[in-house]
Amino acid sequence: MADNKLIYAIEERIGQPDLFTGRKEELSYFERWADEISMKLSRSTALLSRGKKGKTALVERLYNIIYTKNGPLVPFYFEVKEGSKWIVDFALSFYTSFISQYLGFKLRDVSLCRTIKSLDELNEIALKNGYKAISDNIKLFKDALKDKDMVDTIWNNAQSAPHRIASVTGDYIVQIIDEFQFMNSEIYWDTGKTRVANDLAGTYLSLAESKVAPMLVTGSWVSWLKNIIRGQLPGRFIETELNNLKEEEGLEAIYNYSIITGVPVSDDVALYLNKLVNSDPFYISAIIRSIYKDKDLTTIDGLMKTLDFELRRGSIYGTWMEYITRTLSTVNDKNAKKIVLFLSKNREKEWTRQEIIAKCNLPYDDREAENKLQMLIKGDLISEGSTSIRYKGMTDDIFYKVFRYKYEEEIENFPLEKILDEEREKELMQIEALQKEIKSLKGREKYYKGHILEYVLMKYLKFEQYKKENAALKDKIYNPIQGAEFTRYQEVKPYKVMLEGGREHEIDIWAKSYEEGKDLFIEVKSWEKPISKNDAEKFVKTVRDMKTLGIKGYFIYYSINGFEDDAKKYLDDNGIMYADKKSWAIV
């Protein structure tokens, strides 16, 4: 679905919508899953990953796509937040959020999706617009609220509302519940908040099987949510984990964040950063948006200094310490730190409980060790192995560095200065290996297939083209047009346009100039074959259609592997500028 048509019914917390990068396969999967709800084919699903990997961004984007489609499926999004709540207050919040969003979808009123109305206000809206089934349901819920001691009845009325309303109205509803694991830790049965509802998630045992209102739940505490699903909701959810971005998508994210935030990133730094963080979207965002005062991502040395800041004081450190401190405070044992450090340092293999006890010199018997290890698994500081007695460290180099810098001196009395020296020596070896890998042109070009070439060109136009040492536009293209030249650009991004006959077209790059009539529109092809005459004819038609619409600027056809002779002639005859990797060498 084209982003310029997307209705942002709920505000996406990623910020600027263009920051949503990659996740094409995952979004396509969940769009199909959502489409199949109206065929009663979709099962409730749990989306698992560590915090800030992009789960919320993905489900919020999915919500807005479903809202925009305006089909038979009604989206409902609810976040279970940290902080103690009485179950009656929680039920009221859940119920009014659902009814507000349901009416917002039906009435095409975004404000209802973004605000929570009172029960009386919602009832008035429902009656005014002929939604009797909703009004009847609101009355039922208000009746339940009259006796606040009947907490089971109140919660049952709230949580079952999506299924019951879908059953009565013939609609289909997708329930997106973010941070589902907190249902078992943040909600209390009593007003004094002394009796935690640690089995509240289990009340979905029947409703999770609904085919008219299936659930999509997420969790940032992966092992914790897995334990809830497998223990209290067995067989009800399909589990799927959100992994890092693909390598190409990681590079896309780096260039995209760089362009949107205005933080220059050199090509070599982009390649190394992507390798260094294994295309993790949170780490990429954290480094590019780092508040390190001397941040310079145009050099490898600048990147490493920024990373060092993030590992010891920045948002990467802060995010991991949230997991670490919460879990260690629960375990409350110095030996737990020793276990995490040992498994992280030796994360290339699995270790049995007895091996861990021996290697870490732990004062535990087997049962005590199992309990401690399970607590660390629940806190996502270590992972389960392939059997019930095997364990392994987090396969995340960044986590290992954060934990090592913070705790190794305390655990092993090894000075921090020597730890830092060791890690920097390893980083220098990594840099040298990567530089060899990308040294040849062939090696570099493999990184610029797909959409990456577009981002490299965008970065050039945004940050580099106006420098005096760079060639003029006419020196980078074939068939230059009189007066065509580089200028400073306000923004650089893709451009979508609706052409004659309702045909939508996306130009890969639009460099919006401060000067009227000097915008650049560049179609980019990284195909292995040269552009044919037929391809050239399609581009020329697009240019003509855009000019007919009054769109002014310079149009360029960029093909990394050039053009066939008859394509060149056709472009020349029609006054179209074009370029390839020989004329405009950016890789």
DSSP 196: B
409 part of a folded domain: yes
586 part of a folded domain: no
Mean pLDDT value of segment 99-126:
96
Same domain, 48 and 131: yes
| The pLDDT value given to residue 442 | 47
The closest of 344, 505, 510, 491 to 411, measured between CA atoms, is 344
Q: Which two tokens stand for residue 192?
A: 């004094």
Distance CA 300, CA 297 (A): 7
Angle at Cα 30 formed by Cα 27 and Cα 35, nearest 5°?
125
Beta strand extents in 514-569 (DSSP E only): 520-525, 554-559
| The pLDDT value given to residue 157 | 96
Token pair 């919460």 in the structure block, residue: 326
Assign residue 177 the CATH number of its domain: 3.40.50.300
510 part of a folded domain: yes
| The pLDDT value given to residue 445 | 54
CB atoms within 10 A of CB 437: 14
Measured between alpha carbons, how far is residue 246 from residues 23, 56, 207, 273, 289 in Å? Answer: 8, 18, 35, 14, 21
Least confident of 296-310, 445-459, 515-529: 445-459
62 part of a folded domain: yes
pLDDT band at 3 (very low <50, low <70, confident <90, very high): very low
pTM of the entire structure? 0.80
Same domain, 97 and 188: yes
pLDDT band at 438 (very low <50, low <70, confident <90, very high): low
Q: Which of 181, 214, 241 is where one domain is finished?
A: 241
Angle at Cα 244 formed by Cα 257 and Cα 375, nearest 5°?
125
Q: Do 254 and 280 meet the contact criterion of CB atoms below 8 Å apart?
A: no
| The pLDDT value given to residue 262 | 85
Distance CA 284, CA 352 (A): 34
SS3 of 538, please? helix
| Model confidence pLDDT, tens digit, residues 35-94 | 999 999 999 999 999 888 889 999 999 999 999 999 999 999 999 999 999 999 999 999
Q: How far apart are the first and last CA of the chain?
A: 31
| Model confidence pLDDT, tens digit, residues 214-254 | 999 999 999 899 999 999 999 999 999 999 998 888 888 89
What's the whole-number average pLDDT of the chain? Answer: 90
446 part of a folded domain: no
| The pLDDT value given to residue 448 | 55
Amino acid at 360: C
Same domain, 190 and 43: yes
Assign residue 520 the CATH number of its domain: 3.40.1350.10
Q: Is the pLDDT of residue 488 over 90?
A: no
Residue, of 506 and 404, whose pLDDT is higher: 404
| The pLDDT value given to residue 295 | 96
| The pLDDT value given to residue 39 | 95
Same domain, 480 and 547: yes
CB atoms within 10 A of CB 387: 9
Mean pLDDT value of segment 134-155:
95
Same domain, 125 and 183: yes
Secondary structure element (H or E) that encloses residue 65, with its range: helix 55-69
Q: Is the pLDDT of residue 443 over 70?
A: no
- Give the range of the structural domain holding residue 147, as residue numbers without chain letter: 3-241
Assign residue 263 the CATH number of its domain: 1.10.8
Same domain, 226 and 303: no
Same domain, 164 and 218: yes
7 part of a folded domain: yes
Measured between alpha carbons, how far is residue 360 from residues 300, 354, 403, 405 in Å? Answer: 37, 10, 16, 19
Residue, of 446 and 335, whose pLDDT is higher: 335
Beta strand extents in 181-237 (DSSP E only): 187-188, 215-219
Token pair 């991991």 in the structure block, residue: 320
Distance CA 231, CA 300 (A): 47
Distance CA 344, CA 403 (A): 9
Same domain, 371 and 477: no
The rounded percent of the chain whose pLDDT value lies above 70 is 95
10 Å CB burial of residue 3 (0-12, 13-18, 19+) is: middle
Same domain, 92 and 128: yes
- Which DSSP string do the residues of 331-392 spell out, in sequence order? H--HHHHHHHHHHHHTTTS-EEHHHHHHHTT----HHHHHHHHHHHHHTTSEEE-SSTTEEE
Same domain, 502 and 474: yes
| The pLDDT value given to residue 16 | 78
10 Å CB burial of residue 436 (0-12, 13-18, 19+) is: exposed
Same domain, 371 and 505: no
The closest of 178, 212, 223 to 39, measured between CA atoms, is 212
Q: Which of 216, 241, 266 is where one domain is finished?
A: 241
**Domain count across the chain:** 4
The closest of 240, 258, 90, 255 to 159, measured between CA atoms, is 90
Q: Which two tokens stand for residue 446?
A: 């493999």
Same domain, 105 and 139: yes
434 part of a folded domain: no
Q: Is the pLDDT of residue 360 over 50?
A: yes
121 part of a folded domain: yes
Q: Which of 417, 437, 468 is where one domain is finished?
A: 417
| The pLDDT value given to residue 2 | 42
